[in-house]
Amino acid sequence: MEILEKAHELLEANPLCDHCLGRQFALLGYGLDDQQRGETLKLLLTMKNHQLALSGKKVGFSNLRLLASNGSFGMAAEILQNMRKRARKKKECYLCQGLFKSVDTLVENALKTLEEYEYTTFLVGIELPTTVEEREDEFKARFEIAYGESMRNEFSRDIGKKIATATQKPAEYRKPDVVVLVRPFTGEIILQSNPLYVRGAYKKLVRGIPQSMWLCRSCGGRGCPKCDDTGKQYLESVEEIIAGPILEKTEGESVSFHAAGREDVDARMLGTGRPFVMEIKKPRKRFLDLPSLTELVNKQAKGKVEVSNLSPASKDDVRRLKRGEGAQKMYKVFIDFDREVSDEELATVAKTLTKASIRQQTPLRVLHRRADLIREKYIYEAHLKRLAPNRAEMKIRCQGGLYIKELVSGDEGRTIPSVASLLNVEAKPLELDVLKVIMEEK
């Protein structure tokens, strides 16, 4: 069937606006939008049937009436009027119910919503009622439409082009900063601001602060006398200290804190710091002065936490960070023994632990929140130095995930070997510091 015959068949069956007629032939031709395709088809049909009408053929008048009513085509109605024939009343489009006329209003409302956000790229999403999509699918199947596209695609493209022109910002299909969700049949505009990622490294300079917020063990976060109704086990955390200024500057809703492992609450994180990525949910502001933000975070942290090397990041950086949780770590721990130890004994322990595999069952202190598993971790090097007759300092470089306190104490035999078992003493870890997190190069 020829294109004009197909277009006539579609109009004969249902009223169609220029957009919805042209959309059935969207894959034919270049440099035209669907409205132009539909208008062109109606123009050609009108000219053809005008010729028939001028020849006195009734089918010409009949088809002009069809174009004036089901096609809402003004030229067909004018021709009938000039030929002193009555035109039928225009009918509402069967597929879109005339809503393509509201595109400019939808764009205007979308632009007003976008004014509240900072962004570089955007994407338009369209949400249509199920009944509308089912009607279009049935229509395409009934008429065996082979070169058409969906109403969703046309709305998305038309609105997207107009927003891009108005804002001079490009549409981005993979990782847009914001998604403008448009519901043409209700007129709703919903803006989804995708997460903003900032990476850096933090040092924790004091003990007694967890990396992330801990809910109160007694009330589970509801608030009780034990936690002074805060719902928290600790008043602050590294995450909260860093997130506060960042949320303030981005006007975000919440954050997710991703780090390359974690240190114990009573351990410090020193050296060059622990790599982290801050994921800010639903930010309104994206254009950050990161050096100034670094200063603000460190000022408000009051010497407890210090961040450095803040830079833009992406979700890929979070994945890389998670893959690097087992990165090598360097630790320093002070140890008390229940008897005097010699330099020779400590040297023997250091030699035994260097290049050793440690068999470690989940420590008793974390068994309430971790699966009871046996893990093997590797120590690359260990150094012990006697500080007093019954006190020593140990520095080790090991595989991430090794529990250092249990490496010292033995954890009732759950860590083998341990400093305690090698010396046949009771060994107590006093102060633990993380000196370095050694991430693999990208």
Whole-angstrom Cα distance, residue 166 to residue 348? 73
**CATH topology (fold) of 99-193:** VC0802-like (3.30.2130)
Distance between alpha carbon 37 and the CA centroid of its chain, in Å? Answer: 38
Token pair, residue 182, equals 């448009």
Domain ranges of the chain: 3-82, 99-193, 196-325, 327-438
Task: Please determine whether the domains at 196-325 and 327-438 fall in the same fold group of CATH.
Answer: yes
Provide the residue type at 371 as one letter.
A
Token pair, residue 67, equals 């174009």
Look at residue 226 in the predicted model and tell me its pLDDT: 86
What is the assigned CATH class of domain 327-438?
alpha beta
Whole-angstrom Cα distance, residue 344 to residue 223? 53
Of 144, 187, 153, give the one whose Cα is nearest residue 173: 153
Spot the catalytic one: 264, 317, 411, 433: 264
Whole-angstrom Cα distance, residue 278 to residue 367? 28
Going residue by residue through the chain, which has 442 residues, state the pLDDT in tens, using 9 for 90 and above.
699 999 999 999 999 999 999 999 999 999 999 999 999 999 999 999 999 999 999 999 999 999 999 999 999 999 999 999 888 899 999 999 999 999 999 999 999 999 999 999 999 999 999 999 999 999 999 999 999 999 999 999 999 999 999 999 999 999 999 999 999 999 999 999 999 999 999 999 999 999 998 888 888 888 898 888 888 888 899 999 999 999 999 999 999 999 998 999 999 999 999 999 999 999 999 999 999 999 999 999 999 999 999 999 999 999 998 887 778 999 999 999 999 999 999 999 999 999 999 999 999 999 988 899 999 999 999 999 999 999 999 999 999 999 999 999 999 999 999 999 999 999 999 999 999 999 876 5
**CATH topology (fold) of 196-325:** Alpha-Beta Plaits (3.30.70)
Q: Is 338 considered catalytic here?
A: no
Of 424, 345, 352, give the one whose Cα is nearest residue 382: 352
Of 114, 123, 126, 125, give the one whose Cα is nearest residue 171: 123
- By the 10 Å C-beta count (0-12 exposed, 13-18 middle, 19+ buried), 20 is classed as buried
> Phi and psi dihedrals of 419, rounded to 5?
-60, -40
- By the 10 Å C-beta count (0-12 exposed, 13-18 middle, 19+ buried), 412 is classed as exposed
pTM of the model: 0.86
Distance between alpha carbon 75 and the CA centroid of its chain, in Å? Answer: 50
Look at residue 368 in the predicted model and tell me its pLDDT: 86
Provide the residue type at 270 as one letter.
L
Look at residue 68 in the predicted model and tell me its pLDDT: 95
Look at residue 442 in the predicted model and tell me its pLDDT: 52
Whole-angstrom Cα distance, residue 255 to residue 237? 13
Instruction: Judge whether 278 and 257 are in contact, CB under 8 Å.
Output: yes
Of 317, 309, 353, 320, give the one whose Cα is nearest residue 335: 353
Whole-angstrom Cα distance, residue 199 to residue 324? 14
Instruction: Judge whether 139 and 13 are in contact, CB under 8 Å.
Output: no
